[in-house]
Chains A and B, each alone.
Chain A
């Protein structure tokens, strides 16, 4: 069965510093990986995806993620954090071997960016 792990419940970073939110996965076959962000009282917003191709994927709001097959990781990164980046971040993997793009989500990581 596929799974996604986000080992950190919370990440704290100072504004202007680089940030990393970690994600590891376990899935049969080639993984389709995603990052979503959730702001308070709002639904999830798509940030970026890895399907195939370059291991470094660029997404919305200056975020990027690096797919590492040997480490089965898909960490989210941003060179310079903003206070407005504070939110809940979810890593997800598409369920393989089924029609549709149902997602299995990690437990989420709360990012706190302090001024």
Chain B
């Protein structure tokens, strides 16, 4: 079946602009995660959604970052007033219900802030 998809695959934006990154999880997966992969910080957790529960936002680096998940499926990560340090690959992952603990990652969105 189809895996996790993310769009766009690449995004170049000017400093100060807002960007939206999209994630389509695997159908039926109830958990959704956003991570960021950057040269300086490695792979770091950003935010977690589980069903209709309130998201765990503990990994968001600043209040310029926000995310939502509509209808328990598609998620959008929004970065406002982008800064150069926001340049990174943003990875989305989803997990099925139950205790498999495995996460299925999308190919990522490479964000470059100029």
Chain A residues with CB under 8 Å of chain B are: 32, 34, 36, 41-46, 49, 51, 90, 92, 94-95, 98-108
Contacts and interface: CB of A to CB of B under 8 A. Distances in A.
Contacts of A36: 105
Nearest to A94: B101
Give the dominant DSSP class at B's interface.
Answer: strand
Interface in B95-111: 95, 101-108
Contacts of B35: 103
Contacts of B33: 100-103
B26 interface: no
B101 A102 contact: no
B59 interface: yes
Contact of A101 (B4, B31, B53, B107): B31
B43 interface: yes
Contacts of B106: 43
B42 A107 contact: yes
A103 B107 contact: no
Contacts of A32: 101
B56 A99 contact: yes
30 contacts: A32-B101, A36-B105, A41-B107, A43-B4, A43-B93, A43-B107, A43-B108, A44-B103, A44-B105, A46-B102, A49-B102, A51-B101, A99-B50, A99-B53, A100-B33, A100-B48, A100-B56, A101-B33, A101-B101, A102-B45, A102-B48, A102-B56, A103-B33, A103-B35, A104-B45, A105-B42, A105-B43, A106-B42, A108-B42, A108-B43
B48 A49 contact: no
Contacts of B50: 99-100
B107 A90 contact: no
A35 to B, nearest CB: 11
A46 B104 contact: yes
Interface in B28-64: 31, 33, 35, 42-45, 48, 50, 53, 56, 58-59
B103 A46 contact: yes
A46 B33 CA distance: 15
B77 interface: no
A107 B43 CA distance: 7
